[in-house]
Amino acid sequence: MDDTKINADSYLKTGSNELRILEYRAAGISFGINILKVSKIVSHITQLIQVPESHPSIQGVFKDMNRLVPIIDLATVLGEYKEKGKHDKVIVTEFFGLLTGFHVDRIDWIHHFKWEDVIDAKHVFSGIDQKYVLGIVKPTEDHMVLLLDYETILLDIRPEFKENAKVTCTDNINDMSHKKILVAEDSPAVRAMLVNELQTFGCDVVEATDGLEGWEAYKKESFDLVISDVEMPQMDGLALTMRIRQSERPDTPVIVYSSIGDMGMKARAKYLKADAHITKLNLNKLIISAGKLMNGEKIDFDSADNDIETNSSETATTITLD
Same domain, 153 and 167: no
Reported as a single tens digit per residue, the pLDDT across 130-165 is 789 999 999 999 999 999 999 999 999 988 877 766
Q: Is the dihedral of CA 53, 59, 63, 68 positive or negative?
A: negative
Q: Kindly report the CATH number assigned to the domain that includes residue 204.
A: 3.40.50.2300
Residue 116 vs residue 46, higher pLDDT: 116
Kindly list the distances between the CA atom of residue 313 and the CA atoms of 42, 304, 308, in Å, as whole numbers in the listed order. Answer: 19, 17, 12
pLDDT above 80 for 14: no
Give the residue from 311, 227, 318 showing the smallest Cα distance to 269. 227
pLDDT above 60 for 10: no
Give the residue from 292, 289, 285 showing the smallest Cα distance to 308. 285
Q: Kindly report the CATH number assigned to the domain that includes residue 42.
A: 2.40.50.180
**Minimum mean pLDDT range among 90-94, 107-111, 315-319:** 315-319
Same domain, 192 and 104: no
Reported as a single tens digit per residue, the pLDDT across 261-275 is 667 788 889 999 999
DSSP secondary structure letters along 161-184:
HHHHTS----TTPPP-TT-EEEEE
Same domain, 11 and 33: yes
User: Chain-wide mean pLDDT for the chain?
Assistant: 84
pLDDT at 262: 67
Same domain, 146 and 225: no
Q: What is the mean pLDDT of residues 165-190?
A: 84
Whether 6 contacts 39, CB under 8 Å: no
Confirm whether 309 is domain-assigned.
no
pLDDT at 162: 73
Q: What is the mean pLDDT of residues 177-202?
A: 93
Position 319 confidence tier, pLDDT thresholds 50, 70, 90: low
Confirm whether 310 is domain-assigned.
no
Confirm whether 216 is domain-assigned.
yes
Same domain, 174 and 147: no
Confirm whether 228 is domain-assigned.
yes
Confirm whether 43 is domain-assigned.
yes
Position 8 confidence tier, pLDDT thresholds 50, 70, 90: very low
Residue 16 domain boundaries: 2-158+315-321
3-state secondary structure of 293: helix
Confirm whether 308 is domain-assigned.
no
Q: What is the mean pLDDT of residues 78-91?
A: 71
DSSP secondary structure letters along 240-257:
HHHHHHTSS-TTS-EEEE
Same domain, 38 and 110: yes
Of the chain, the percentage scoring pLDDT greater than 90 comes to 53
- Number of domains making up the chain: 2
Same domain, 76 and 91: yes
pLDDT above 90 for 88: no
Confirm whether 121 is domain-assigned.
yes
Same domain, 13 and 146: yes
Same domain, 168 and 266: yes
Whether 226 contacts 253, CB under 8 Å: yes
In angstroms, rounded to a whole number, what is the distance separating the alpha carbons of residues 287 and 111? 36
Reported as a single tens digit per residue, the pLDDT across 246-257 is 999 999 999 999
Helix (H) or strand (E) run with residue 138 in it = strand 133-140
Whether 146 contacts 136, CB under 8 Å: yes
Confirm whether 239 is domain-assigned.
yes
Same domain, 168 and 140: no
Position 243 confidence tier, pLDDT thresholds 50, 70, 90: very high
Kindly list the distances between the CA atom of residue 150 and the CA atoms of 38, 59, 72, 306, in Å, as whole numbers in the listed order. Answer: 12, 17, 11, 24
pLDDT at 220: 96
Same domain, 117 and 190: no
pLDDT at 70: 94
pLDDT above 60 for 195: yes
In angstroms, rounded to a whole number, what is the distance separating the alpha carbons of residues 123 and 109? 26
pLDDT above 50 for 120: yes
Position 48 confidence tier, pLDDT thresholds 50, 70, 90: confident
Same domain, 201 and 212: yes
